[in-house]
Amino acid sequence: MTPHADSIADQVSKLNTDMAGQAPAEVLAAFEAEQAELNTAGVPATAATPGTQLPDVELISAEGTPVSLHTATNGSPAVIVFYRGGWCPYCNIALKTYQDQLLPELAERGVALLAVSPQKPDGSLTTQQKHELAFPVLSDPGNVLAGVLGILTAPNAEAREAQAKLGLDLTTENADGTHTLPMPTVAVTDADHILRWIDIHPDYTTRSEPAAILAALDTVKK
């Protein structure tokens, strides 16, 4: 990885500082309460564990073309990043960091990198183009793949109200017209599509750091 590159945590800290001076206090309070609630609930008891076989779920490319999960991984081990949507600033930080710090390392190892969200394909395309992402950004309508991993959640009423004050309506962003989201998660699968490592973040302001993902890959390949 690039020496002295900023961690996701450092970038998130700066974002939170900036937001504190820009967003309405009641909006920030609603989001902070939601994050505390999610932290208390923790990782769902139904979350998948290593050894789970991932089915060949049909996803949609950023260009609107159906593509199966197994086709997207192209017979390679894969790092699958579940993110909430291009409207989420924390997701954007993570995806750009993975582009800069993780993708080159994965390419050397012959490991595919995919990003998956429930947003409509045009949202995926915007995300890919805005951040110049050189890896597939796929739509998972109805959170089918995220559901297999048991990582689904949804903002509470107060958080939805705060989102609305910022002009965000998840029912118009998500392909299935619901508020359902995946918890930010990184899943590592082998060439046979078997889950080998999973890192789930109930608090959506945190993410898997590139170094942790690479360390997990090293363990998987031993």
Residue 208 sits in a domain whose CATH number is 3.40.30.10
Q: What is the pTM of this model?
A: 0.95
What are the backbone dihedrals phi and psi of residue 123, each rounded to the nearest 5 degrees, phi first?
Answer: -70, -40
What is the amino acid identity at position 173? E
DSSP, collapsed to helix, strand or coil, labels residue 98 as helix
Handedness of CA 85, 194, 198, 158 (dihedral sign): positive
Give the residue from 20, 9, 156 showing the smallest Cα distance to 90: 9
94 part of a folded domain = yes
* Cβ atoms of 162 and 64 closer than 8 Å: no
Q: Is residue 3 part of a domain?
A: no
205 within a domain of the structure (yes/no): yes
Domain annotation covers residue 1: no
Residue that wins the pLDDT comparison between 222 and 220: 220
Q: Round to whole Å and give the CA distance between 137 and 117.
A: 8
Residue 124 lies in a domain: yes
- What does the mean pLDDT of the chain come to? 94
Indicate whether 138 belongs to any domain: yes
Measure the CA–CA gap between 114 and 58, rounded to whole angstroms.
14
Is the pLDDT assigned to residue 1 strictly greater than 60?
A: no
Is position 115 within any domain? yes
In a domain, 2, yes or no: no
Please count the structural domains in the chain.
1
Q: Work out the pLDDT band at 22, boundaries 50, 70, 90.
A: confident
Domain extent at residue 146: 8-220
